[in-house]
Amino acid sequence: MNWTQLKVTCKTEDLNSVTAVMSMLDNHLMIEDYSDIETGLNTIYGELIDESILNADKTHAKVSMYIDERNNYNDYLLFIKERLRALGLEDKTTIEIIGVDEEDWENNWKRFYKPLKIGENLMIVPMWEDYEAKDGEVIVKMDPGLAFGSGTHETTKLCATLIEKYMEPGMHVLDVGTGSGILAICESKLGAKDINAYDIDPIAVRVAKENAEKNGVYNINCGVSDLLRDVDMTGGAYDFVSANIVADIIIRMTPELSRVTKIGSLVCVSGIIEEYARNVIECMELHNFGIVDIMTDKDWKGILFKRLA
């Protein structure tokens, strides 16, 4: 079996954060950290330490995972990039794909991406696939490009399923951390009156705009914003908010949610690994958002909240 190495290089002080992000995808990580090598010199084994290790960069660490050929390494790559960006680590890290040439990276990942049903009627279809819709299906055509959100990851599926279940036609909608725009497009196709979709990454915003146009939906306004900082409020408080990001960032965003919502507004969050779900719930409840529904897929949680006061 062939394997692809995905390696992230970071500053030593950011190692725990990078490891936490990558462990969301794989628990079998290889970590290269030489920052405490000096401790080894003071033991009886100090003279056995290789000179190349002694001279290694102690200010940076490397975390690697190995992805077998049955899995789509592009999904792993885009997921990690988005989570690092959300944590403010994108410019402090470098990512390498080892064992794949540039042409493979750009094109071969597409063979893993096939039409995918989400929820009751949502059908996520790659732009390059011919697909004949069945009765009742809502077709969302996607080309993830350089932004996370093909619909295949558990976090996206959870959020889209909750959107289909609870978002009502005519709602004024906000999508935070839009990535490829997949959730905003689902919301539009399901009858939202209008959607403001934001991402901190200008590339993601461009990809989201292109995907919206390719789907023939024109009630999505895509813009650059750091979470809720530059959200357009000219249309009033939002009826429905979706945010497929990470637990820490959801918690950071929560105190600002009361500014963009009203009593009765629904907030759909995902990207929450199971062990951090309680932290998110406690924070949301502290700010007057009660649980409406929780869905689980593998180790991931998608949670729908309602503003109570």
Q: Please check whether residue 95 is in contact with residue 81, taking contact to mean a CB–CB distance below 8 angstroms.
A: yes
pLDDT for the residue 94: 92
pLDDT at 47 (0 to 100): 46
- Token pair in block for residue 217: 């939906």
Average pLDDT of span 90-116:
71
Query: Which residues neighbour 182 within 8 Å (Cβ) at sequence distance 6 or greater?
Result: 124, 140, 142, 149, 150, 151, 156, 160, 211
Q: State if pTM tops 0.75.
A: no
- Out of 13-27, 54-68, 116-130, 214-228, which region has the weakest mean confidence (pLDDT)? 54-68
> Which is more confident, 254 or 28?
254
> What's the average model confidence in pLDDT over 137-163?
79
Question: Was domain 3-109 assigned CATH 3.40.50.1980?
Answer: no
Phi, psi at residue 128, to the nearest 5°?
Answer: -90, 0
Higher pLDDT, 21 or 231: 231
> Across-strand partners of 10?
61
pLDDT, residue 98, reads 84
Q: Are strands 300-307 and 289-297 parallel, antiparallel or unpaired?
A: antiparallel
Rounded to the nearest integer, the mean pLDDT of the chain is 85
- Helix boundaries (H) for 5-100: 15-23, 37-41, 51-54, 73-86
Nearest-angstrom CA–CA distance, 71 and 143: 18
Residue-range domain boundaries for the chain: 3-109, 154-307
Least confident of 12-16, 201-205, 304-308: 201-205
pLDDT for residue 14? 92
For residue 2, pLDDT over 80 is answered with no
The set of residues, in sequence order, having a beta carbon less than 8 Å from that of 60 and lying 6+ positions away, is 9, 10, 11, 12
Q: Reply yes or no on domain 154-307 having CATH 3.40.50.150.
A: yes
Q: pLDDT tens for residues 160-172?
A: 999 999 999 999 9
